[in-house]
Amino acid sequence: MARVPYLTRSELPLHHQDLLDRDINLNRALVNCPSGARAFWVLGYWIRRDMDIDSRLRELVILQVGYLSRSPYEFSHHVKIALESGVSEQDIDQLIAENQGLETSLSDCDRLLLNATREIVEGPGISAQTFTALQSHFDPGQLVALTLTASFYLGVVRLLDSLAIDTESDYLPYLERFPLPI
């Protein structure tokens, strides 16, 4: 059960009701602090809509953060988004296999990106060796964007866990199909 109330649109002043255009538990909790919720979504919106990175790669990074963090909310929500953004079920199976140390058919670039994300999640950040390897695939702006994405979503999973945000029942089938590690 969430540690803060899930607010509804009618409980918000008119000028903040747009914050619940996407009526999910995370948003319903964040609107307890409307100005913070609005600031939070500025970067989130940029990552999801305006970033100059292939949506498949973006979603692999976000899925990796959710998977490694064992975040049911983040992982399930982004499995849905990933499948709508060019990530295949096989890609997700391969991501899970890669994290289990199994052989995969992922490209070298995909594996490198998952490793860089792992280094961010486990801390303190991307190693010099991994960063150098990434430079052969991405320009400096893309490297910043990918690092921002992994770092932002690592913050998201910490927020979700700290506020004990519940995963909506509509997203549970994604966790059944793609289980998180125990």
Q: What whole-number distance in Å separates Cα of residue 1 and Cα of residue 97?
A: 31
105 with 133, same domain: the answer is: yes
For 127, list phi and psi in degrees, rounded to 5.
-70, 160
Q: Is 182 inside any structural domain?
A: no
107 with 153, same domain: the answer is: yes
The CATH number of the domain where 140 resides is what?
A: 1.20.1290.10
Q: What whole-number distance in Å separates Cα of residue 138 and Cα of residue 141?
A: 8
State the average pLDDT over residues 157-181: 98
Q: Which domain covers residue 92, as residue numbers? A: 53-177
39 with 100, same domain: the answer is: no
Residue 136 has pLDDT above 90, yes or no: yes
Q: Encode pLDDT of 85-105 as tens digits.
A: 999 999 999 999 999 999 999
Q: Is 76 inside any structural domain?
A: yes
Answer for the pair 68, 76: CB distance below 8 angstroms, yes or no: no
103 with 121, same domain: the answer is: yes
Residue-level pLDDT at 110: 97
Residue-level pLDDT at 159: 98
37 with 5, same domain: the answer is: yes
Give residue 152's pLDDT band: very low, low, confident or very high (50, 70, 90): very high
Q: Encode pLDDT of 18-35 as tens digits.
A: 999 999 999 999 999 999
Q: Is 78 inside any structural domain?
A: yes
User: Phi/psi class of residue 48: alpha, beta or left (left: φ > 0; alpha: ψ in -120 to 50)?
Assistant: alpha
39 with 57, same domain: the answer is: no
Q: What whole-number distance in Å separates Cα of residue 60 and Cα of residue 92?
A: 8
44 with 84, same domain: the answer is: no
What is the total count of domains within the chain? 2
19 with 75, same domain: the answer is: no
124 with 41, same domain: the answer is: no
106 with 172, same domain: the answer is: yes
Q: What whole-number distance in Å separates Cα of residue 33 and Cα of residue 43?
A: 16
Per the prediction, the chain carries an average pLDDT of: 97
30 with 105, same domain: the answer is: no
Residue 182 has pLDDT above 90, yes or no: no
Q: Is 14 inside any structural domain?
A: yes
Give residue 164's pLDDT band: very low, low, confident or very high (50, 70, 90): very high
Tokens of 90: 């096989």
